[in-house]
Each structure stands twice: as structure tokens, then as C-alpha cells.
Amino acid sequence: MPKPAERSIEKTQTDLARWLGTRIPGADAIEIQSLGGPEATGFSSDTLLFDFSWRERGESRSAPVVVRLEPSGFQVFPSYEIAWQYRLMGALGRVGVPTPRMLWLEEDPLPLGARFYVMERIDGQVPPDRPPYHMHGWLLDAPPSERRDVWRSGIDAMARIHMADWRALGFQFLDRPEHGATGIDQQLGYYERYLIWALDGDRHPACEQALQWLRSNQPTGETLRLCWGDARIGNMIFRDGRCAAVLDWEMATLGNPVQDLAWYLYLDRHHCEGIGVPRLDGFPSRDETIAQWEQATGLSARESIDYYEIFAGLRFAAIMVRVSRQMKHYEQLPADSDFDLNNPASQLLAKLLPHGSTP
């Protein structure tokens, strides 16, 4: 089965050691150990985990780190702003959002063949997506009290993001006027273009219906705050039931933060109801989750949560088009599979749409 081009471990170790020598003044005897990808996903991953050791001023030092590289090959997103992610996590970590300590940004693709950043590696556990945590993994084996702590801690971490002053932090670069006016108008404009790119001439009835409904019911005059974009417990590292770090900022935007809350709820719903398995005991209900977020932020979600859950369904169904075609490209799905258009995400989106929304 063909795979994305794999990196040579030996060459990558050599290249990393050479590059790290340019970033640590006075370092020598740099060695890279335990180089690999996360969760044994294979060395074709765009994430590299490793320990490295060095000598500095006669003292031996070591550090566990993570390298995130700009994706190569068949990509899920048309662009990937590696520098934006580095800046977001670095600034948010300084105002109390749990993020890894950001170490270095490299915008020259020459050292490793792609732009990348380096951050500290945080010890802990991440709820799995494949298979989802409702079916497999440490949360399945955890007591309901720990599951509740994980869920609530994730909401608290997300609320800290929404309370951050994005203007003071210099996040104006997230404004994308080429896609529309601020907030949801830009996001709808982006996903309209994303679907054209992802579908490459094909039709997606559920997404088309969702876009029409979202445009017809588009809210105005909303608050504009920093939105994580991919807010879910599968993008968090937990330790002793507490969120130790929030990860994956490639979908960050400016808009109504209820969209993050809706994504948090929708992705969990997809991972149980969407694939036909029971939700784990201990996770707070939808109403409890909304109430906790409202209390933590001082904002109201009741007026717009239904709208943004449909928006979440649209986003995930659109992304699944590209993910499925990526799998076809690498022959992980048959070429004639209709999974890109007919999958749990598109089916759940159709279920969410109000009756009579068909064009």
C-alpha cells in the first residue's frame, strides 16, 4: 500500500543535530535519540518526537521535544501557516493558556525540507481519534469521575482562550478579509472556497444544504474573539484529569467563540452517536457543558449554539471530503469508494439540518 514519502531516520537525525547546533550557542556533542512519530502512527507523520542531549559549557543537558513540520504530499488544507501557530501558542502560554513552551521557529525549508517549529514535549495522555475514545483507549478504561474531570478541564482551558485579548496579543493576522467581513462571514466564505477546492467539480448535497441554511440564517453583530478552531479533547494533553496543554492551531480564527463550544460538542457527538456507539458515562451533558462555559466566560451561548453546531457539522463534513480523498490517494481506501461524500460526518450533518432546508 503506497504511503506518503517517508523520512530517512538517519538523515533526519543528522539534519536535526546540525540545525540544533545553530540554535544553542556553545553546544557540542549533540545527539538525537528516540526519533519517531506520535502514537506509533509511522514515520511519515508531519510530527516528530525525540529526545536530544548536548554539552554546554562543560555540562551535560537533555530535553524532550516535538517538531511540527509543514505538511507535504496530499494535503488536507490548501495552506498551512506554521508561523501563525508558533506565534499563537507562544503568546497564549504567556497569558495562562496551557500550551507547550515554544522553543524555535524555522521558516527556511532547507534544513528539514519544510518549515517547522520546535516545542517542549508535555507528558500526559491524549484521547484517541482512531478508534475514537468512546471505543478504545485510556478514557474507556477510566472511571466516570476521571472522564468528568477531563471534560470539564477541557472546557476551562477553552474558556481561557476565549478570554484572551487577541488585539493586545497581536493576532490581527487571523483576520482574512479576502473571505468576507469579520467573523462568521469570513468563515462561511472560507468553507465555500474550501469545498470547491476539495470536491474538484463534484457535488455534496448535505454541505450545499448546510451552506444555504447558514447563509440564510447568518447572525450579525456578534462578538469577535479568538477561536481555537479545532477545540476538542482529542487536541489536548491530560495529566491526572487536568488539561496540561492545548494543541493544533491550524484552524484558528476570529469570530464568535460559541463556534468552539459547538465544535467541542459536535466532535464528541460524532465520535459516539455518529458511529453508533454509546457515549461514555461521566461526561457532562450538553446543557451542563454550555452552562459551565457560560459561567467561565461570562458570555451567552443559548442564542447561537444550534446555529454553530450546524456550522461545525458543515466544517467537519467538508474536511472529511479531503481526508477521504487523501486516503484514496494513498490507496488506503478503494478508488471507487463514496466515503468522501457518504460518511458519519455527512450523515450527522444531514441529521442536524432543520427540516425543509433542502434547496
Furthest-apart CA pair in the chain: how many Å?
73
Going by their DSSP bridges, the two strands 47-56 and 27-36 should be labelled as antiparallel
Q: Which residues contact 121 (CB under 8 A, 6 or more apart)?
A: 49, 64, 65, 66, 100
Kindly list the domain boundaries of the chain, sorted by start residue: 9-120, 138-352
Which cell goes with 218? 447568518
How far apart are alpha carbons 119 and 64 in whole angstroms? 9
Spell out a b/e string for 235-264, using b for 16 or more CB atoms within 10 Å of the CB, else e.
bbbbeebbbbbbbbbbbbbbbbbbbbbbbb
Please give the angle made by the CA atoms of 238, 239 and 240, to the nearest 5 degrees: 120
Task: Report whether 127 contacts 118 (CB < 8 A).
Answer: no
The pLDDT assigned to 5 comes to 52
The pLDDT assigned to 358 comes to 47
Task: Report whether 232 contacts 264 (CB < 8 A).
Answer: yes
The pLDDT assigned to 25 comes to 84
Task: Report whether 167 contacts 202 (CB < 8 A).
Answer: no
Q: Which value, in Å, is the radius of gyration of the alpha carbons in the chain?
A: 21
Nearest to 129 by CA among 283, 229, 233, 44: 233
**Judging by beta carbons within 10 Å of its beta carbon (0-12, 13-18, 19+), is residue 266 exposed, middle or buried?**
buried
Taking the CB of residue 310, how many other CB atoms lie within 10 A of it? 21
Fold topology of 138-352? Aminoglycoside 3'-phosphotransferase; Chain: A, domain 2 (3.90.1200)
Taking the CB of residue 32, how many other CB atoms lie within 10 A of it? 20
Going by CATH, does the domain composed of 9-120 fall within 3.30.2310.20? no
Question: Average per-residue pLDDT in the chain?
Answer: 92
Which stretches does DSSP call E strand in 206-297? 225-227, 236-239, 242-246, 253-255
pLDDT tens digits, residue range 161-218? 999 999 999 999 999 999 999 899 999 999 999 999 999 999 999 999 999 999 999 9
How far apart are alpha carbons 141 and 74 in whole angstroms? 35
Residue for cell digits 486516503?
327
Would you call 255 helix, strand, or coil by DSSP? strand
Would you call 316 helix, strand, or coil by DSSP? helix
pLDDT tens digits, residue range 223-265? 999 999 999 999 999 999 999 999 999 999 999 999 999 999 9
How far apart are alpha carbons 28 and 47 in whole angstroms? 25
Amino acid identity of residue 163, one-letter, is M
Q: Is the per-residue pLDDT at 42 higher than 70? A: no
Give residue 73's pLDDT band: very low, low, confident or very high (50, 70, 90): confident
Give residue 319's pLDDT band: very low, low, confident or very high (50, 70, 90): very high
The pLDDT assigned to 6 comes to 63
